[in-house]
Amino acid sequence: FKSEEVSQVRGVVLQKSTCEYWNKIWDFQAKPDDVLISSYPKAGTTWLQEIVDMIQNDGDIEKTRRAPTDIRIKYLSNEVMKINYLAGLDKANEMPSPRVLKTHLPVQLLPPSFWKENCKIIYVARNIKDNIVSFFHFQRMNKGLPDPGSWEEYFETFLEGKGLWGSWYDHVKGWWEAKDIYPILYLFYEDIKKHPRREIEKVMEFLGKNLDEKVLDKIVYYTSFNVMKNNPMSNYTLSSLMNQSVSPFMRKGVIGDWKNYFTVAQNERCNEDYREKMDDTTLSFSMEY
Ligand code: A3P
């Protein structure tokens, strides 16, 4: 990526603007009743935001849709708010409790107050192959992010951990380890896709909510891909940063789209890299796709 667009914090590649305001982000004050949604970008963050918001609003879709997803749930960074760098953080500080916040930070860069306050955190992870493809398209269509270059270049940058938000491996493994110490619900995109109701129930229980069957049915329906794709509050059509004609934000929403992009050689390279770098963890992704 172009050097004027990115920089690093403790070896993790982040947008330059995030790095410039790093001290403010690091000093962010979490509150005990905050809920944090955390993920590597393109793992299903927006999906989880919609699920959490619907659960918090007892399945009331009107309340959930009162504003676009990124305004309802504050981002602990500034990417979305290019014009005012501190808007994300400032707005988060002003938000009434109980707050739901969102971050893409790797575990070692999470502002320490979240650990101190023992906040509930929901992490969502997605298999590396689909995650690469989804991120590639996102960087193509998001004017606020560096140009990803060619698919071949992007693929290598990603595997080497030199992409935005750092190494996918460090991210998913780091949060996986943290879940043994802190109140973290660790979810997988693939599970939510295959068993939406079961996974939504998990989130509900984790948040200490008890919603009846009908409400759950409603949440499953309103958070399904096609409904979210047609919902301007969740598909980012209102964002001027995203050029949806290059690639829609709600792009495909499937498991296994990587097969349309990976060459045989890239698949072998990824499998080998994956075996090597996932050798030291109990975390595993179903590799049937
Ligand atoms: P694709 O690019 O593979 O389609 P994030 O919100 O973390 O940026 O992740 C975006 C990815 O999640 C996109 O993946 C998007 O289509 C997918 N997604 C969003 N909502 C979804 C839903 N309700 N069901 C399935 N996938 C969803």
Over pLDDT 90: what percentage of the chain?
75
d(CA 117, ligand 1 centre) in Å = 30
Atom of ligand 1 nearest to the CA of 47: 20
Instruction: Tell me, yes or no, if 104 is annotated catalytic.
Output: yes
Binding site membership of 74 for ligand 1 (Cβ less than 6 Å): no
Site to probe by mutation for ligand 1, drawn from 47, 190, 231, 244 as the one with most ligand atoms within 8 Å of Cβ, is: 47
Q: Using CA atoms, how far apart are residues 144 and 130, in angstroms rounded to an integer?
A: 22
Please check the confidence at residue 75 and state whether its pLDDT lies above 90: no
d(CA 269, ligand 1 centre) in Å = 25
Per the confidence metrics, is the pTM higher than 0.80?
A: yes
51 Cα distance to chain centroid = 13
Listed in sequence order, the DSSP H helices in the chain are 16-20, 22-26, 45-56, 61-64, 69-72, 87-94, 113-116, 128-141, 151-159, 168-178, 189-194, 196-206, 213-222, 225-229, 264-277
Contact 234, 242 (CB under 8 A): no
Q: Which residue's C-alpha comes closest to atom 5 of ligand 1?
A: 42
d(CA 46, ligand 1 centre) in Å = 7
Per-residue pLDDT of 130-188, as tens digits, reads 999 999 999 999 988 999 999 999 999 999 999 999 999 999 999 999 999 999 999 99
Q: Using CA atoms, how far apart are residues 231 and 90, in angstroms rounded to an integer?
A: 27
Order across the sheet with 120-125: list the strands.
74-75, 100-103, 35-39, 120-125, 184-188
Q: Which residue's C-alpha comes closest to atom 26 of ligand 1?
A: 253
Binding site membership of 224 for ligand 1 (Cβ less than 6 Å): yes
pLDDT classification of 43: cutoffs 50, 70, 90: very high
Per-residue pLDDT of 243-287, as tens digits, reads 999 999 999 999 999 999 999 999 999 999 999 999 999 999 976
In this structure, what DSSP letter does residue 9 have? Answer: E
Per-residue pLDDT of 175-225, as tens digits, reads 999 999 999 999 999 999 999 999 999 999 999 999 999 999 999 999 999
Q: Using CA atoms, how far apart are residues 219 and 51, in angstroms rounded to an integer?
A: 7
Please check the confidence at residue 98 and state whether its pLDDT lies above 60: yes
